Amino acid sequence: MAEELIDPSNSEELASEVARLRGEIARLQAMVERLDQLAHLDPLVELPNRRGFMTQLEGLIARVKRYGDDAAMLFVDIDGLKRINDSHGHQAGDEALIRVSQLLVSGVRNGDCVARLGGDEFGILLEHADQAIADETASRLVERIARCDFSHDGAALQLGVAIGIGVIAPDDDPETVMARADQAMYVKKAAAVG
- Catalytic residue numbers read 120
d(Cα 132, Cα 91) in Å, to the nearest integer? 37
Amino acid, single-letter form, for residue 11: S
What is the secondary structure of the chain as a DSSP string?
-PPPPP-TT-HHHHHHHHHHHHHHHHHHHHHHHHHHHHHTEETTTTEE-HHHHHHHHHHHHHHHHHH---EEEEEEEEETHHHHHHHH-HHHHHHHHHHHHHHHHHTS-TTSEEEEEETTEEEEEEET--HHHHHHHHHHHHHHHHH---EETTEE---EEEEEEEEPPTT--HHHHHHHHHHHHHHHHHHHH-
Q: What is the largest CA-CA distance in the chain?
A: 83
